[in-house]
Amino acid sequence: MAVARELLTSPSRRYVARVAYITSTNVRDVMTARPRYAAPDTPLSHVAELMETDDIGAIPILDGDRLVGMITDRDIVVRAVAKDKDPRGMPSQEISSGELVTVGPDQDLSDALYLMAHHQVRRLPVVDDDNRLVGVVSQADIALEAKDKSVGEMVAEISKPPQGPRQL
């Protein structure tokens, strides 16, 4: 598995040590199965309502049964509201992320953690070999599974804010 090889050859030995204990846990064991989703033409306002109703921060976008995008609450704010676009009629595909980082249900949970840290994302769509959505795994799912303080520290690293000065 490419991710596992990259993980093992990573210069960050600290990371490898932190996730080593969860290598026997598969993503399938902790993911949210059958997550809520939206179609590419679903209005952003409806996506936001789903997020509020279900208390979730991301909605996968499916075209038929294939994953084509992911939209987060942040996407709605940054790509629509902040640009003075009207979310009531705007289709979700206009602002959804199309370049997705995904994980398979039978991959090790450590692979999912690595992908989250490497790509600075908090949720990963879980897809089968045909790119059909089977679940979503989040930081919270992993933290709930963690039996070791070091995984909590790793989850915190995924969410680490960018370094350097920030100007408005």
Whichever domain contains 114, its CATH number is 3.10.580.10
What Cα–Cα distance (Å) separates residue 7 from each residue in 14, 20, 98, 109? 11, 10, 25, 12
By the 10 Å C-beta count (0-12 exposed, 13-18 middle, 19+ buried), 23 is classed as: middle
**Three-state secondary structure string covering 97-163:** ECCCCCECCCCEHHHHHHHHHHHCCCEEEEECCCCEEEEEEEHHHHHHHCCCHHHHHHHHHHCCCCC
Q: What is the pLDDT of residue 2?
A: 38
Which of 75, 115, 122, 110 lies closest to 94, judged by CA? 75
What average pLDDT values come out for the chain (168 residues) when binned by 10 residues?
40 43 78 94 95 94 94 94 90 90 94 90 94 93 71 59 58
Q: Is residue 168 a part of any domain in this protein? A: no
Q: Is residue 41 a part of any domain in this protein? A: yes
For residue 23, give its domain range: 2-158
Tens digits of residue pLDDT in 91-100 = 999 999 878 9
How far apart, in whole angstroms, are the C-alpha atoms of residue 118 and residue 98? 18
Q: Is residue 165 a part of any domain in this protein? A: no
Task: Identify whether the C-beta of residue 32 lies closer than 8 Å to the C-beta of residue 103.
Answer: no
pTM: 0.75
Q: Is residue 131 a part of any domain in this protein? A: yes
Q: Is residue 107 a part of any domain in this protein? A: yes
Q: Is residue 86 a part of any domain in this protein? A: yes
Q: How many domains, the chain?
A: 1
Q: Is residue 22 a part of any domain in this protein? A: yes
Q: What is the pLDDT of residue 99?
A: 87
Q: What is the pLDDT of residue 12?
A: 43
How far apart, in whole angstroms, are the C-alpha atoms of residue 115 and residue 26? 14
Q: What is the pLDDT of residue 51?
A: 95
CA 112, chain centre distance (Å) = 9
Q: Is residue 142 a part of any domain in this protein? A: yes
